[in-house]
Amino acid sequence: MHHERVRDYLIIIGHTWICTSCRENLLNDPDSILVGHKLSEEEREHLLSLTEQSFRTMMELDEATGLTMEELQLAIDHPRSRLRHLGINRRGVKRRR
């Protein structure tokens, strides 16, 4: 079975749906999460505009991210979404925008 590489954007969305601490980091300090990921300008804009409300339901998340339900499901179910946490781990350092 051939697996095409899943875009970093999908991995970020999938993981932040599952993991509330990475979601919190994305919402409070997006640069710490987005650094080192290959993202289009549009994907970056979607990620920067996400709020806690975007994650209330899958329907709200697909609307906020511009993904289809199918892509969103793929993102959430992808092994890389579940593998490890996102971004730079800065223990004890909380930055606010």
Residue 31: inside a domain, yes or no? yes
Residue 90: inside a domain, yes or no? no
Residue 53: inside a domain, yes or no? yes
pLDDT-based confidence at residue 35 (cuts at 50, 70, 90):
confident
Residue 60: inside a domain, yes or no? yes
Q: Which domain holds residue 58?
A: 16-83
Measured CA to CA, the distance from residue 89 to residue 29 in angstroms comes to 12
Which residue is associated with the tokens 């954007």?
A: 9
pLDDT-based confidence at residue 44 (cuts at 50, 70, 90):
very high
Residue 49: inside a domain, yes or no? yes
- pTM, whole model, 2 decimals? 0.82
Total structural domains in the chain?
1
For the residues 68-76, what does the mean pLDDT come to? 95
Residue 34: inside a domain, yes or no? yes
pLDDT of residue 88: 57
Residue 9: inside a domain, yes or no? no
For the residues 51-55, what does the mean pLDDT come to? 97
Average pLDDT, the chain: 86
Residue 3: inside a domain, yes or no? no
Q: Which two tokens stand for residue 7?
A: 């875009």
Measured CA to CA, the distance from residue 66 to residue 46 in angstroms comes to 8
| CA distances (Å), origin 11, targets 2, 33, 36, 63, 94 | 18, 11, 13, 17, 24
